[in-house]
Structure 1
């Protein structure tokens, strides 16, 4: 019921993840990233413990392939799970259990991995990887381009209703965490619109957290008093 990618920006070291599904609030259950460590998607019949586990293993020194293999050994009902990971060196790994739903497949390259289930066809993850590698600019722009490529290649077999985009940089919290938890329209375009609005303000929100004395004003009511 889901297609996604995890990615690293080789130039900045940022990690990101984008995901979409016919299920509600997919990003709330399936998206994990940690600054200086990596990004993980845990999907299909979702076990939300797998994302933090893989991140902990990578933070402890394992590569993405090693961490995913260890999570496979430790996890329960792994025949039903899909787990995607990318680490600080751009190494990627995917576990797709044989009981993944419908048409399921995966694709990988350095710095990016994509997987999906209940897909319209088996070309979708490769289209996502190609979309990411072929795009330029901020990792957020590249994640949106990749998800649009996957959607345009067929996406899920049925309509998708939720989506999310998650980005971490050199602070301990996500620098962008945008979600569309349910819509009858295109959730990927909803996220793309939110990203277009959020991207110019991203650095300001970081500045407001680190030192609000230097934070810019956007001229909205109350902005001078509460930033």
Structure 2
């Protein structure tokens, strides 16, 4: 942080900027994308930076309202109040103009705002460190500053356009990977984040974000973010399987569990609950080899199995339970 403050003071002394450098703000120079899926209405922000925990300051979003990326010298006010203004029926353009009017350091900001209708407004201040650009597309915008070269934004833009076959989150990650492959942040890479919100306001505020993934400190943050997204998808399938079991739809449950297992083939938790579902459905015989493989790797899963009947999560008879506990 001391180095960042020193850099800011040096820039001020050399160039005599008319606006005060916001040295107290996070120095999150970065590249990002805000995007909306025109078919599902989902909205997302993806970001990477050579700055610790970029996901804690740059991406903002609210279901049924919109998303914001605030970067360069970050003012989190653009995220928090930007969403509030969208909720008050401001367009992204009017919201951004209002926020800029109240910001003496707007020349150092880079901000993108996208609403639930797909309307977009972007500001790249004239004092953002080169290469600093943005480009607006249909239902998305890419923006970057302090990039290694001027091709980063264009490569990110093209990658998002060229992967329309993917779900929004995966499409955003493709754009981020393209940005990094083109050179990315001139300082390197450290953290990344991805959020996805829905097209309608969430009934429960705690369920607002459909995806909320952060890599705070990593040598290859986008690669790690991509891995976490894959795990997230696998657990989504697990949840679908659990719901199907509650509805006594064994076929749908096993299909969902199998999809989860295909994404995470070494995850013992997924195998365990699939086996529990089989046992609860009356097919203990099919569950046996699955339990055996799990218990060979880690006996604690067998100890956990013993505790499930008291929690009403395992409903097999005592004879079948004893058989499984003695595998």
TM-score by length of 1: 0.89
Instruction: Tell which structure's C-alpha radius of gyration is larger.
Output: 2
2:169 to 132, 140, 154: 140
Which residue number corresponds to residue 86 of structure 2? 58
String of CA shifts for 1:121-178, please: whole Å, max 9, x gaps: 1221222122112112211110111101111121111211000011112434211111
* 1:151 maps onto 2:185 in alignment: no
**Cα deviation, residue 46, structure 1:** 0.7
- 2:224 alignment partner in structure 1: 190
Note the aligned Cα RMSD (angstroms).
2.7
Aligned partner of 2:146 in structure 1 is 118
Q: Is the 8 A contact 1:176 1:202 kept in 2?
A: no
Say which SS state the counterpart of residue 49 (structure 1) adopts.
helix
Contact 1:6–1:112, Cα closer than 8 Å, also in 2: yes
| Residue 178 of structure 2 corresponds to residue 178 of structure 1 | no
Tell me what 1:160 maps to: 189
Give the number of the structure whose residues are more often helix, by fraction.
2
2:114 aligned residue (67, 77, 86): 86
Q: Which structure 1 segments of 5+ residues have no match?
A: none
Within 5 Å, which residues of 2 pair with 1:65-80? 65-80=93-108
Alpha-carbon displacement from aligned partner over 1:3-27 (angstroms, at most 9, x marks no partner): 0000001000101010000010001
Helix, strand or coil at the partner of 1:20: strand
Aligned-pair CA distance for 1:197:
1.2
1:202 aligned to 227, 236, 239, which one?
A: 236
Gaps of 5+ in 2: 1-28, 248-252, 258-269, 274-300, 314-327
Cα shift at 1:35: 0.5
**Alpha-carbon separation, structure 2, partners of 1:100 and 1:123:** 16
Moved more, 137-146 or 169-178: 169-178
Distance 2:239 2:101 in 1: 40
- Larger strand proportion of the pair: 1
SS at match of 1:83: strand
Give the whole-Å Cα distance in 2 for the aligned partners of 1:130 and 1:205.
34
Contact residue 92 and residue 109 of structure 1 kept, 8 A: no
1:213–1:132 distance in 2 versus 1, CA, 3 Å: same
TM norm structure 2: 0.63
Equivalent residue for 1:128, pick from 144, 153, 156: 156
Deviations 1:57-95 (A, max 9, x none): 111112222211121112341111111111122111111
- Aligned structure 1 segments of 4 or more residues deviating by more than 4 angstroms: 203-208, 220-227
Change (3 A) 1:180 1:61: same
The structure-2 alpha-carbon separation of the partners of 1:180 and 1:101, relative to structure 1 and needing over 3 Å to count, comes to: same
- 1:12 matched to 2:47? The reply is no
